[in-house]
Chain A
């Protein structure tokens, strides 16, 4: 679903600032390996999120002393996330209701 990846990214970085690899890890672990993205495809989405002003990025050192680019959610990003989640849930609820009536 278009925009879903953006939503997932926003959700991840809303918990804490993360770099690309960490976001991929996070999605994979939280979804118990069901959500497996080609990790490279995170980057166009991250650029989009940056472009819309939903997140900010800066190079920082990781706890393991590497340099990585950390993404931090902005206020606009949080608002957007709220909207996305709400509409996603509405959609999901609708789909479930449809599926249930068919049983």
Chain B
């Protein structure tokens, strides 16, 4: 079944605040094998001009993947998650995520298309601080494979 095209252009209310923890950044950096001091050591991060440890470039997916359930888990969209694969991913930064940030996500649907029996949905998540300072914009394209 195709995805409901009326979702295109819609935005959702901001998600509950996510508190970015120092240990979570360290855990994520360790999981991707990144040993850079600025990800692990607050002193090194301060020397680089940050208030606390800095997150690796793909870290925001921890927050945005959970936030995007607002859209993709809505039965009205018609997405069968068992047939979904990740198509594209993009991060566009205003500044890096830093431990101590309290971040909220505003989700939108940029595009829904069908091609060759597959359905595509592109979501955009504006990640900002609770105070409204923009941090990073995250786009994610999901592919719902056609049924055999």
Judge: A and B partners, yes or no: no
